[in-house]
Amino acid sequence: MCGIIGYVGGRQATPILISGLRRLEYRGYDSAGVSVIDPSGVTGDGRARVVRCRGKLAALEDKLTKEPAPGTTGMGHTRWATHGRPSDENSHPHRAGSITVIHNGIIENHLALRAELAASGAHFSSETDTEIFAHLVERAVQSGTTDLTTAVRRSLAKVRGSFAFVVMSDKEPGTLVAAKNSSPLVVGLGDGENYVASDVTAILSETRRVIFVDEGEMVTVTRQGVQITDFDGKPRVREPKTITWSAVQAEKGGYKHYMLKEIHEQPRAVADTLVGRVDLEHDDVLLDGIDLDPERIKRIVFIACGTSYHASLVGEFLVESLARIPVEVDLASEFRYRDPILGRGDLVVAVSQSGETLDTMEAIREAKKKGAQILAISNVVESSIPRLSDHAFYTHAGPEIGVASTKAFTTQLIATVLLAIYLGRRTGALPRERARELLAELLQLPNKMRDVVESGAQLQVLARRYGHSHGFLFLGRGAQYPIALEGALKLKELSYIHAEGYAAGEMKHGPIALIDETLPVVVLAPRGPNYDKVVSNLAEVRARQGKVLAVATKGDAEIGGHADDVILVPDSALELQPVLTVLPLQLLAYYVADFKGTDIDQPRNLAKSVTVE
Ligand code: AGP
């Protein structure tokens, strides 16, 4: 998830670009850069000046004081690394010949395109997928395509994946061409000047008249105006909208809190995490070049904290059921102090959204000392934990601003599913046909998630009904037990109400003493082998006047007779159900906290990344 901005007009572009990038840093801050050209030719050498560097925007501003970029046409980019570590060379904009490009998204077929271009003599200066598009457009221009718009259109035909591109050509210094597929893109309309950006945040101080570019649309932007067409060149007529949001609201995409925005970003985050990793041709998974040999893996040990620990507990179910490799899961803060028995046959999987959690970092240091192989699953490219590990597998959730982890969690679940399928196909425990079914269901998951996150109104009602309670109990069985733990953590860290997650079968061994009419009990009861047992747990609760909120599968006609409230989620493969059943729990926690008026994005006593022991 990167931030992009472009400007064509009569004013110096650089200050406008920097101001816009400052408001886009929440979308990524691994590196930043600008490309600026002077159409009048009075300043510069007739080529776009590219100034970029690793680090936050301040580093770029500092560099620009030494390397000014004059001109009235330009574009800027702030990066959240997905392909290629954060570095000066991997920073955007990328140049090839007379073309410079900035990009937000993932080019799925980047390896094939890179090989094809290299075979025809292209030389690359970065590890990124984006640079490939600059070469494609340059090659189209070189092959006699006169105008930039046509060159971009021809290049788009070769690209698969999610993208918002902005392209400049030294040969057309008063023009920007942009294109959108899945990643956000908006056009801003000024008086004798026009803009493009990832979202309105970047340009709201310049204009409130915008056009939200639709899927499969291209825009050609000059001082005089904006032409919109589809990728085949057919004109599109789009009415401008006037934005009434404040700049702060715009950064949250119009949502009240970052957390709510990030809950709604989960379908996109999951789709992005799947891009380039589902190999339907071979019914297999591509782990970004990671080569794990199950022959060498006698045991897998997940190590994590908090929400990432809950994702690891689900991972245990998935890897054991699909790959039949023994799995253990350990809290990082416990693992490192118990002199664990580990050796070369162990694969330690360190799960960490931030990649900076000190407990997890110290735990894998301990594991490395004992000879284990380390695989990091993280959301931040080149953060400390992946750098300390033998292998790194990245979720593509984009920066997670809300302290309570949501989109990082569901993308971690996806990462463990992919790992389990990858291993299962290699141990032979997962038949090809079953892998094919799971991969097909994985690709349908973002749409099913969208159904659920759009059902917030029901959770808002339940939050008001139960938000005054003194405590909550969350129950689940099997892979739903970690989801019960996660639901309880979300509720307590956001609303400060005590909540406990429990294995439903454990109720009769003590916690059932808690049950009375003042204690809401959230029970995860999706379709599956544990359904009947969970329903009998519901009956135990209701027999003691407990209030039951059941999360069940759409089409379940029985559950209503056992619960006071029912939240339905779409059916899916058993292994994928946790990705869906956690969503209503995130929304419940959010709306209870909103009802109580706590600080949702920065709950008391908490930090986004716990870098202390
Ligand atoms: C998640 O809602 C919590 N804020 C917290 O438990 C978090 O998951 C934990 O601190 C681990 O962080 P990490 O994934 O960045 O290592």
The reply to whether 39 and 156 lie within a common domain is yes
Reported as a single tens digit per residue, the pLDDT across 125-139 is 999 999 999 999 999
The reply to whether 432 and 482 lie within a common domain is no
> Is residue 324 in a domain?
yes
- Maximum pairwise Cα distance, the chain: 83
Q: With 70 as the cut, is the pLDDT of residue 495 above it?
A: yes
The residues annotated as belonging to the active site are 2, 608
The reply to whether 379 and 408 lie within a common domain is yes
State the Cα–Cα distance between residues 279 and 260, nearest whole angstrom.
32
Q: Please report the atom of ligand 1 found closest to the CA of residue 357.
A: 16
Reported as a single tens digit per residue, the pLDDT across 3-15 is 999 999 999 999 9
State the Cα–Cα distance between residues 455 and 450, nearest whole angstrom.
9
The reply to whether 268 and 197 lie within a common domain is no
At 29 the pLDDT is 85
Whole-structure pTM value: 0.84
At 97 the pLDDT is 96
How much of the chain, in percent, has pLDDT values that exceed 70? 100
At 548 the pLDDT is 97
The reply to whether 460 and 412 lie within a common domain is no
- The CATH number given to whatever domain includes residue 283 is 3.40.50.10490
Domain final residue, candidates 221, 250, 279: 250
State the Cα–Cα distance between residues 335 and 332, nearest whole angstrom.
5
Choice from 309, 352, 353 to test ligand 1 binding pocket (greatest atom count within 8 A of CB): 353
At 247 the pLDDT is 76
Distance (angstroms) between ligand 1 centre and the Cα of 61 equals 32
Q: Could you tell me the residue range of the domain that residue 463 belongs to?
A: 455-607
* CA-based radius of gyration for the chain: 25
Reported as a single tens digit per residue, the pLDDT across 395-430 is 999 888 888 999 999 999 999 999 999 999 999 999
The reply to whether 473 and 594 lie within a common domain is yes
The reply to whether 65 and 198 lie within a common domain is yes
Alpha helix positions (H), 25-68: 57-66
Reported as a single tens digit per residue, the pLDDT across 260-299 is 999 999 999 999 999 999 999 999 999 988 989 999 999 9
Residue partners of 170: CB distance under 8 A and separation at least 6: 37, 46, 47, 48, 98, 99
The reply to whether 512 and 586 lie within a common domain is yes
The reply to whether 461 and 440 lie within a common domain is no
- Is 609 a pocket residue for ligand 1 (Cβ < 6 Å)? yes
- Is 307 a pocket residue for ligand 1 (Cβ < 6 Å)? yes
> Is residue 465 in a domain?
yes
Choice from 263, 405, 604 to test ligand 1 binding pocket (greatest atom count within 8 A of CB): 405
Distance (angstroms) between ligand 1 centre and the Cα of 308 equals 6
Q: Please report the atom of ligand 1 found closest to the CA of residue 403.
A: 4
At 512 the pLDDT is 92
At 145 the pLDDT is 64
Reported as a single tens digit per residue, the pLDDT across 139-166 is 999 988 679 999 999 999 999 998 999 9
pLDDT band, residue 545 (cuts 50/70/90): very high
Reported as a single tens digit per residue, the pLDDT across 168-182 is 999 999 999 999 998
The reply to whether 298 and 421 lie within a common domain is yes
> Is residue 213 in a domain?
yes
Q: Please report the atom of ligand 1 found closest to the CA of residue 404.
A: 2
How much of the chain, in percent, has pLDDT values that exceed 90? 84
> Is residue 10 in a domain?
yes
> What does the pLDDT average to over 577-606?
93
State the Cα–Cα distance between residues 422 and 492, nearest whole angstrom.
35
The reply to whether 123 and 180 lie within a common domain is yes
> Is residue 265 in a domain?
yes
Domain final residue, candidates 409, 425, 453: 453
- Is 383 a pocket residue for ligand 1 (Cβ < 6 Å)? no
- Is 19 a pocket residue for ligand 1 (Cβ < 6 Å)? no
Q: Which residue CA neighbors atom 6 of ligand 1 most closely?
A: 306
- Is 405 a pocket residue for ligand 1 (Cβ < 6 Å)? yes
State the Cα–Cα distance between residues 355 and 378, nearest whole angstrom.
6
- Is 384 a pocket residue for ligand 1 (Cβ < 6 Å)? no
547-553 sheet: strands from edge to edge: 498-503, 471-476, 520-525, 547-553, 565-569
More confident residue, 486 or 606: 486
Domain final residue, candidates 453, 473, 495: 453
Nearest Cα to 262, choosing from 353, 346, 142?
353
- Is 585 a pocket residue for ligand 1 (Cβ < 6 Å)? no
The reply to whether 558 and 586 lie within a common domain is yes
Reported as a single tens digit per residue, the pLDDT across 322-360 is 999 999 999 999 998 999 999 999 999 999 999 989 999
The mean pLDDT value of the chain amounts to 94
Q: How many structural domains comprise the chain?
A: 3
- The CATH number given to whatever domain includes residue 159 is 3.60.20.10
Instruction: Determine the 3-state secondary structure of 230 from DSSP.
Output: strand
State the Cα–Cα distance between residues 34 and 39, nearest whole angstrom.
16
> Is residue 613 in a domain?
no
